[in-house]
A and B are shown apart, each in its own frame.
Chain A
Amino acid sequence: DTGVSQDPRHKITKRGQNVTFRCDPISEHNRLYWYRQTLGQGPEFLTYFQNEAQLEKSRLLSDRFSAERPKGSFSTLEIQRTEQGDSAMYLCASSQRETQYFGPGTRLLVL
């Protein structure tokens, strides 16, 4: 049984660079979520896909952030012109119904 996977697990970048993260959900799950978690806080919702449709976006998702799920399977989250404030853990989750199952996260450090 394969869980949610995320790649890369760690990313260090310089301010102003673009980064892209990938999430592969549990295969039969049609719902996919992105969250951001900063140190000492709980995860905060960023965006949600049902199949390939992006149905909801948080106000946290500025115009520098874009997410896609082109074929309703894996998803990518891109951050353009990274800022130091983007440093965080980016978590992906998937679900078939109410319970969301999380991946190991991508830890981003912007220098």
Chain B
Amino acid sequence: AQKVTQAQTEISVVEKEDVTLDCVYETRDTTYYLFWYKQPPSGELVFLIRRNSFDEQNEISGRYSWNFQKSTSSFNFTITASQVVDSAVYFCALSFFSVISSGSARQLTFGSGTQLTVLP
């Protein structure tokens, strides 16, 4: 079975601080994708980043960076120089490969989310 754990329920930081959101996952699949989504108070889930299981290269995109370590099944997400507009719930998600006779589906399994509050 697939499982995503976000142990941090709530984090508060002061603006301009760096913040790292933790994500640990479980899967038996050898091919999978990992995602981070942001859900602001308006409720819409916004896609941030995607990583596939066969590429452990860590990258930086603007103020966002991520650390994917297959050995520890972790996919942590860092926001550098946080801003008040970053305040939201952040979800880590795992996409596993589900083989259907007519094709394939990749359901997302989400963690329970981390509420990030950036204080001015």
Contacts and interface: CB of A to CB of B under 8 A. Distances in A.
22 contacts: A35-B108, A41-B112, A42-B93, A42-B113, A43-B45, A43-B91, A43-B110, A44-B110, A48-B105, A50-B100, A50-B102, A55-B102, A55-B105, A56-B105, A89-B43, A93-B108, A99-B50, A100-B47, A100-B106, A100-B108, A102-B47, A105-B43
Interface of A: 31, 33, 35, 40-45, 48, 50, 53, 55-56, 89, 91, 93, 95, 98-105, 107
Given A44-B110, A100-B106, A104-B42, 5 more contacts: A56-B100, A56-B105, A98-B52, A99-B47, A104-B44
For the complex of A and B, list the 9 residue pairs with the smallest distance between their C-beta atoms, beginning with the closest.
Answer: A42-B110, A102-B45, A45-B107, A55-B100, A104-B44, A48-B105, A56-B105, A50-B103, A105-B43
B113 A31 contact: no
A109 B112 CA distance: 21
Interface of B: 4, 33, 35, 37, 42-47, 50, 52, 91, 93, 95, 98, 100, 102-103, 105-113
Main secondary structure of the interface of B (DSSP, over half): strand
A104 B44 CA distance: 4
B95 A42 contact: no
B45 A91 contact: yes
Nearest to B98: A56
A23 to B, nearest CB: 13
Contacts of A41: 112-113
A53 B112 contact: no
Nearest to B4: A42
Nearest to B113: A42
A42 B50 CA distance: 17
B108 A45 contact: yes
Contacts of A103: 44
A97 to B, nearest CB: 9
User: Taking each of B45, B98, B107, which has the highest tally of chain A beta carbons within 10 Å of its own beta carbon?
Assistant: B45
A82 to B, nearest CB: 20
B102 to A, nearest CB: 6
